[in-house]
Structure 1
Amino acid sequence: MSPAVTLAAVEAARKLLKGQVIATPMLPAPRLSALTGAEVFVKYENLQVTNSFKDRGAYVKLARLDDTARARGVIAMSAGNHAQAVAYHAQRLGVPATIVMPETTPFVKVASTKAFGATVVLDGETLADSQRRAEAIIAEQGLTLVHPYDDPDIVAGQGTIALEMLEAVPDLDTLVIPIGGGGLISGNAVAARGVKPDIEVVGVEATLYPAMRNAISGETRPVGGPTLAEGIAVKNVGRLTRPIIEALVSDIVLVDEAQLEQAVNAYLTLQKTMAEGAGAAGLAAMLARPERFRGKRVGLVLCGGNIDPRILASIMVRELERQSRIVSIRLTIPDRPGVLGAIATLLGEHGANILEVVHHRLFLDVPAKGAKVDVTVEARDRAHGREIVEAFAANGYEPERIQTVKAIE
């Protein structure tokens, strides 16, 4: 482990942060506890000014710059949350800031970063691409790099979260923390294990980006692809953070896209709070491996809430489909007057709400005097959905479920 990141360093960062960032709530989450089988407590870092934990490390790094570095300015590469945090605190401290972001960064994060007064440069598909562009700008302009995770000040700042969590709930058994480059989990592992040596720290990566797990375990899982958790979509693990994680983190759980979507939806519908994909990764791990956490007192860091509203709306609809509360059914019908009325009556008798009806008359697998009709309805639950399908079958409509997303069993 690096001697630069110690419990004392995290405690010093906390003193520096007093009055500069929000000491966010750490609250019990009974509905998430019922969902996961563990006793869950949530640290709401989405309530920071820039809606993520990145405020902490960014302020610590910027506040410790000397006058020369402040005058020249700083640069950061980020998929969004680090960008906003650096831009916001640089603006507060009067430090010019340039942020290099991947071209795939959600628009909401780009717009927020610009709104804090930073110069934004969009370059490349990944953070690795953005890092190369940032290095070129540093060589040209002599700016100070504010690295998103491979920096002792950044890591120590993020670790202040665990100090607050354990003050609020001292008898936690486990912390479940997302991993991108490793700054968040490294700082919090140092702090949590320093205060409570027997606490378990579990990391979470997106299945598409298992970079840290590969590095530590020697696995060769492929890394890359579009993920909801773009905030932890990192291919290059930190040189500073990796040995800390190896020493202090007991396990790294991988979560797929459906589990990330389910976790984002659970935060919204059960906790009435917004989580981006990376922010919900800890909960996604509990949904992916419920037996791993059952019966334990678990602390989750809801580390970011900067999600594109369009993506969030899509997730909500997709989750309704997974839960069979929205059901799409393709029917084979005779193409004559009155049939749609009979279908509507049947649905009404079974308490279904019609959302959409689409006719298909040109399908070749039905007679010339027949048609296919796609009916999308709102059902109460999975059992109600099955009841509707069975009612169509009993009336000779040859129902076929149209499954647009993978169902949750």
Structure 2
Amino acid sequence: MTVSRDDVIAAAGRIAGAVERTPLLASEVRGQQLWLKCECVQTGGAFKLRGATNRLLLLSPEERTRGVIAFSSGNHAQGVAIAAHRLGIPAVIVMPADAPAIKVAGTRAHGAEIIFYDRRRESREAIAAKLADERGGTVVPSFDDPAIVAGQGSVGLEILEQLGEPPRRIAISTGGGGLAAGIALACPDAAITCVEPEGWDDMARSLTGGEIVPVAADAPPTLCDALQTPRVSPITFSILHARNATALAVTDAEVEDAVRFAWANHDLTVEPGGAVALAALLSGKLAPEPGTVAILSGGNIDPALHARIIGKAA
């Protein structure tokens, strides 16, 4: 399965009007101006609606009748639920039992059926495959699908239009790599930096080693629930490896700094997993330079957690 820049362009045209054109805001980090692409204000609170909408629009009438099945800790779940609701498609979402309540509620609010699993002991892929076999539905992965990658790449096309020129570097939050791979295709002249939580830096290890390396079984807890992907896919890895993408990891403390920065400087509510790219720049792990864009990929954070991080009473 391959994805091309033409696929990204076609996807952007297909989903136009179904997703928001999100703001590109100027910011300043360590004395250097850079840009923040605010997918945290996308419908559903994250970029995931883009890929989900593109994938569901490509279903045949018969496939739409049988419904879709997705697995996600929350943002892809909501993207699929919203897209399915709009198109009148039944949706079942496999979610970890420890998914943030705000993401569970958002998914339910759009009519999706939720089935919970234990992310430490059970395989979400296996559960989804079993459900698909039993119900005849189409599995809609969160990143391991060409149509999903192409849809996420529309973020990159918007950046090019909004800047009026290719950015020098784009820092991108990375779980399975669908967003990073799509943007890498959309913006062929930009250096790509994937940013992950410490201990969940499987894309970094994979790019360094030249082959896919899964997350360790004893990976530490992280605030970045949206980025707890145990293994990247051949699709996303091959795209990013071919583009010579680099990757790095940030700590929870650095992520909290980024959440505070987004709120204090831009009045933006950003979830931990959506703030890792900004965290890399604020911490100095990635040097800010002219023409840098950081993707704020999601804003679905529990209000009490956000209040704690920004130092306000819940």
Residue type at the aligned position of 1:56:
R
1:17 is matched with 15
Bigger Cα displacement from structure 2, 10-19 vs 218-227: 218-227
Deviations 1:171-209 (A, max 9, x none): 52110001100100000001101xxx3x21111011120
Residue type at the aligned position of 1:135:
A
Residue type at the aligned position of 1:308:
D
1:263 is matched with 258
In structure 2, relative to structure 1, the CA distance for the partners of 1:52 and 1:201 (3 Å cut) is same
Residue type at the aligned position of 1:9:
D
Per the TM alignment, residue 253 of structure 1 is displaced from its structure 2 partner at its CA by: 1.2
Asked if 1:283 corresponds to 2:278, the answer is: yes
Instruction: Point out which structure has higher relative CO (alpha carbons under 8 A, 6+ apart).
Output: 2
1:27 is matched with 25
Bigger Cα displacement from structure 2, 59-68 vs 242-251: 242-251
Residue of 199, 208, 211 corresponding to 2:199: 208
Give 1:54-203 correspondences, 5 Å limit: 54-125=48-119, 129-169=123-163, 170-193=165-188, 197=189, 199-203=190-194
Deviations 1:85-129 (A, max 9, x none): 100110000000000000110000001100000000111125963
Structure 2 counterpart SS, 1:293: coil
Structure 2 CA distance for aligned equivalents of residues 171 and 246 of structure 1 = 20
Contact 1:100 1:133 in 2 (8 A): yes
Residue of 25, 34, 37 corresponding to 1:40: 34
2:307 is matched with 313
Contact 2:197 2:251 in 1 (8 A): yes
Structure 2 CA distance for aligned equivalents of residues 127 and 156 of structure 1 = 31
In our comparison, the structure showing a higher alpha carbon Rg is 1
Per the TM alignment, residue 227 of structure 1 is displaced from its structure 2 partner at its CA by: 0.9
Structure 2 CA distance for aligned equivalents of residues 257 and 37 of structure 1 = 24
Deviations 1:191-243 (A, max 9, x none): 101xxx3x211110111201112222238984622211111111111121111
Query: How many residues in Structure 1 have an aligned counterpart in Structure 2?
Result: 308
Bigger Cα displacement from structure 2, 38-47 vs 71-80: 38-47
Compute the TM-score of the two structures, normalised by the length of structure 2. Answer: 0.93
Structure 1 counterpart SS, 2:268: coil
Structure 2 CA distance for aligned equivalents of residues 205 and 173 of structure 1 = 20
Residue of 222, 228, 232 corresponding to 2:227: 232
Structure 2 CA distance for aligned equivalents of residues 154 and 115 of structure 1 = 23
Residue type at the aligned position of 1:279:
G
Deviations 1:366-401 (A, max 9, x none): xxxxxxxxxxxxxxxxxxxxxxxxxxxxxxxxxxxx
Question: Could you say what the CA RMSD is over the residues aligned between the two structures, in angstroms?
Answer: 1.9
Per the TM alignment, residue 295 of structure 1 is displaced from its structure 2 partner at its CA by: 3.2
Residue type at the aligned position of 1:268:
W
Structure 2 CA distance for aligned equivalents of residues 242 and 171 of structure 1 = 23
1:296 is matched with 290
Compute the TM-score of the two structures, normalised by the length of structure 1. Answer: 0.72
Per the TM alignment, residue 37 of structure 1 is displaced from its structure 2 partner at its CA by: 3.5
Residue type at the aligned position of 1:270:
N
Structure 2 counterpart SS, 1:99: strand
Residue type at the aligned position of 1:147:
P
In structure 2, relative to structure 1, the CA distance for the partners of 1:299 and 1:273 (3 Å cut) is same
Structure 2 CA distance for aligned equivalents of residues 100 and 146 of structure 1 = 11
Structure 1 alignment gaps of length 5 or more: 321-409
Residue of 238, 245, 250 corresponding to 2:240: 245
Structure 2 CA distance for aligned equivalents of residues 156 and 128 of structure 1 = 29
Deviations 1:280-307 (A, max 9, x none): 11101112335x4233221111110000
Bigger Cα displacement from structure 2, 212-221 vs 307-316: 212-221
In structure 2, relative to structure 1, the CA distance for the partners of 1:156 and 1:213 (3 Å cut) is same
